[in-house]
Structure formats: C-alpha cells, structure tokens
Structure 1
Amino acid sequence: MNDDDLGHEHEGATPQEEAISMLGAFVDGELPPGDRAALEARLAADTQAAARVAAYRAQKAALQALCAGERAGPDAPNAHDAAPAVLVLRARAPWWWRAGVAAAWVCVGAGLTAAVMALAPRLAPDLAPGVIARIETSESPEAFARRADVAYAVYSPEQRHPVEVGAADEAHLIAWLSKRLGKPLTAPSLAEYGYALVGGRLLPGNRGPAAQFMYENDAGERLTLYVGSSRADRDAVRLLRDGNRRTFYWSTDRTGYALSGPQTEPKLREIAFDVCGALGGKPGQW
C-alpha cells in the first residue's frame, strides 16, 4: 500500500475510522517517516492508542505464527502439522489472540515495574520506599492466578517448544529456577495421577522471576504449576475459572502457587490439594 492508497482510504472516513486506519498502517510499517514520527510522539502520551497498537501487534504476531507452518512448505520437517492456509474468522476473538495480548501486557508490566523500582531511589529518594511498597503490593492473589492462567494458555499447546529445560535435566532445571527465584523449589511428582514432568521454564512475574513446571499424561493433556513470590505467608486454596480452563491457587511461606489445567474441577481440585500438601501447605488452607 502506498501513500496515495492511504489517501483514498481516508476520503469520506469518519475521524475514528481514519485514526484506526492510521494505527493499522503504523503497525504494518506503511506510514511515511514524518507521519510515523508524529504518531510515535502521540502514542507516548495517549495510553488508549498505545494499547490499541499493542493489540494490533499481538494479533499480527499470532497470525504470523499460525501461518508459519504453511510458509515452510510441504517438504519441511513436521510439515504435516502445519496450520492450513485458509483461516476462518469469527466475530469473537479466539483464546490464543486474547492470551497473546495478555502475555504481551504481562511482559510490559514486568518491565515497567523493574524500571520504576530501579530508578525510584535516584529520581525521588524521599518517596522511593513508598513507591516500591505500593508496587510490591499491587498484585492480588487473583491477579497472580490470572498470570498463571495466561502462561498455561500460551505454553500448554506448544508441541515443539513447550519448555526451556526438559525433564531429562530435572536436577539442572530445579537448581536453575531455584537460583533465579532465590528460594528452593521442587517439582512435585504427579505420577499417581498419570502425569509425568515435561520440564519447565523461567517467566516474568509481578514481583520478580516466576517459574512454570509442565506435566503431561498419556492422552496428551497437560497441567502446569506456576510458582512466584507472594507477600502472604499463607493463603487458602481458591479457584479461578476461565472458559474450559481451571486454576487452583494458594500461598505457602511467602511463595505463590497456581495449578492450571483443562481437567474437570473435582479432579483438578484433588490434584491441587495434594500438591499444596506436598509443598508445605496445611489442611487448614483447604
């Protein structure tokens, strides 16, 4: 699309339609340098427009990932698993698009938090302790659970790269994640429920690094255990529902845990309570 095409598109358009069209052209890299610089300056001060651009970029990245297999060609490895070239569009955004947007904002929020905590002492020494305290208490237990739910939705469908470190290197995985989180971690066994450890990965959390352990059964169903810091010494086990996904979450010894999966609620609850006990939780939390 050239500048003349953009001009024809804008003729007869409402201001809102024109603004949306310009944001789309910005994401696709189709704006002239002068217009792009002006729009970047506006986005720095307009949080609503910046959020729309972030959503457009997340949607574009998701669609590119969905079509990557088709672009690889029929002779590429695992080509039979490639996504079809024809996409069916529905009015309601699919879960992977919503999860992608949420994951993008998770990363942005974690980065902003780290930047503010690092700069606050130098920018405002007298106010820095109060600012840092508000940042550390900004995430509720439910927000922690939603972060875990998003991580499950994003990584559990992965076939080739579901984890960073596989279960074959479990000792290294545990040592690495324990060091990054600054506390001893354990990947509890779920063998009695038919689930084996796939591996794990490091993720950004609201108050520092977080860890995700992934499990899988013979049917290919997956569960994830999300672990991060918590200000609460002990929180009862609670449930978060999102579509067909369920997340049971709790805190023990200032560590937050969230078990996510597609399991029926009673079965996942049983596993969650068992994991809670294995990780130092008490029956009173149940």
Structure 2
Amino acid sequence: MESTRGLPLEVRLSAYLDGQLPEEEVEEINVLLAADDEARAVYEKLKLGSEFGARAFDRMLQEPIPLDLVRNIKEAGRNEEEAPKLGFVGAPVAAVPAGRRSAFWPQALAASLVIFLSGGAVGYLISEQKQTAFQAASNQFAPARTWLDDIADYHRIYSRQARHLVEVPANDAAHIVEWLSASTGVKFQLPDLSAEKLTFEGARLLVAGGKPTAQLLYRDTDNEVFAICFLQSEPIDGKTSLAESMRNDIGLVSWQKGNASYVVVGPSADPNLERIAEAVSTTI
C-alpha cells in the first residue's frame, strides 16, 4: 500500500475508507478524525457517497439482464468459435494458456466496481462543492436587504389593519413622543400633515435593520394609510437629499438627517408622496 502523505485530505480519507492505507497512516487518520470536526465532516460525506454507490450497484445486479445483451454475448461467443484457430506465426490459439481469458472477467468486474464506487464518492463531493459555490455566487450577486425592505413589509401588513392599525392611538400624543424617543434614541416632533389632508392615527414600535424603529401612521380621505418611520443611524452633518424607491406597490421616500434615517411610506401610485416627504423632513 502506497503512502498518501502530502495528498489532499479528501484523497487520504477516501483511501482510508477503502482500507488502502499503510497501518501507520491509519493511526494518523484515526487521530485526525477524533480531533478535527472538519475532517470528520468530509469523511462522513465520502462515506455517504460510497454507501450510495454500493446500494446503486446492488440494485443494478438485481435487475434482469436485457435480452439484447444476452443475444450479443451469445453472438460474440459464436463468432469467436468460428474464428481461425491460429495465433502468431501460425501457432494454434490453443497454445495460449487457457486460464488467461477466464481470469480477465473477475479483474474487470472488480476494477469496474472500484471505479463505480469511487465515482459515487467523488460525484457526491463535486455536487456538494457546486452547491456551495452556487449559494456563494447567489449571495454575492443578490442585492443586500436594507431597513427599507423591512419597512415596506411592515407597511404592507399594517396598512390593511382596521381595528389594530396602531399600538398607541393619536389621543396619547405626548406618550408617543416620549416612548418612541426613548426607544429609538431619536428626538422628534409629531408632524402636522393636515395641509396634506392626512390625519394622524397613532404609532407603533418596529424592528427594522436590526434596530428599534418608530412608525407614525396617518390616513387620507380615501382611507389610504401613510407612515413615517425613523431609526438611529451613524451621525452626519446636515441632511441628505430625498431619495425615491419602490417595493412593488409600496412607494418610499427616504433621507438622513443628523443621527437618524427617515422614510415616508405610502401607495406607490400616489403622486403626492414626495411632497408629503418634503413636509415631514422640515417639521419632524
């Protein structure tokens, strides 16, 4: 048995699994598997692939031999018997040792079995590596989720609520300001949006982007729900410009000011959304 020292871990473990390692290397692998979680995980995958290949081979042996294959074997035997019985330089074929042909088939079958089982183990590993690579590529090119995605999801749910639109109703405005300022770390005033024909309904506390986030809810004369949401962020000097975005049927206008990020949320089809956001950005 040849040494596998210096070869990749998968090769060494495959040889270990097949009983093809020298005794001293078997002890090395035993110690490695006992101490290394990653090595054990690779070993289990190889073992699983080998067992899968063995089961598949067993099933193949149990299947009936196709009639075409039987006919072809018989035909090949008949042609061999009818072939000229001369070897090299006119020597009779019978001079060739008789045991040579019969010894070939067990060797070929054994070799085929080793290749089949090895292929099963290697195929399993390749499949695992391809899946991991595909997931990594998907994660690399997928757009990163932001707090605005969370806000859009919340708005899509809460805007459809009738009796349970808010946690704290509008008639407890003083408590809303105290509660949400303390919870988010952002000082604010409740914007009066009556000029935009919006009525304040109350507030909720959310979690967006992993941070506590305030949600102030308003309703217009058509019973459409709008929201102002904000959370604490890295401080900046001054204020950024308004940025519009959409999440399907949800429109968002966001900006940052001081130590907070803000967004006004409403139906994407509403033409007044940017004007509402401008009013909020100057009063909140």
TM-score range, shorter chain: 0.3 to 0.5
Q: Which has the larger radius of gyration?
A: 2
Q: TM-score, normalised by structure 1?
A: 0.46
